[in-house]
Amino acid sequence: MDNILWTARKRTIFGLPLSFTVYTLTDTKLFIKTGLFNIREEEVRLYRILDITLKRTFEERLFGLGTIHCCTADKTAPEFDIKRIRDSKEIRTLLSDQVEEERSIRYVGVREYMGENGEDMDGETHE
């Protein structure tokens, strides 16, 4: 069973947690649950996350929020946002550290994301 490291709700107007989006970070996966009547739950394995970017609009900074943008090697969710969360800098660091730990544990390197002919995910060839 995975340990829950962080869970939060997407914030809306004035930074209030009035949305139906819940983020949960465990030591191996990130879950994004959205919806009220029709619920969708996306699961992303941390070792598949390739890039993490923190974005903070003026409004988000006013209310102490931020959005974390992730690029992954996952076919169903190649890019996603962890939107309007509190402590976004700390969560970005926590997520980044967990991604690196998972990649280290699983011995995941660049080769996993390379194609048969040495092409990366963007179609560029490397020697």
CATH fold of 4-108 reads PH-domain like (2.30.29)
Write the Ramachandran bin of 103: left for phi over 0, alpha for psi from -120 to 50, otherwise beta: alpha
| Distance separating alpha carbons of residues 125 and 59, to the nearest angstrom | 41
pTM: 0.81
Beta bridge partners of 18: none
At which residue do the structure tokens 């969708």 appear?
Answer: 40
Domain segments of the chain as ranges: 4-108
Q: What is the tens place of the pLDDT at every residue in 48-96?
A: 999 999 999 999 999 999 999 999 998 888 999 999 999 999 999 999 9
Q: What are φ and ψ of residue 58, in 5° steps? A: -60, -45
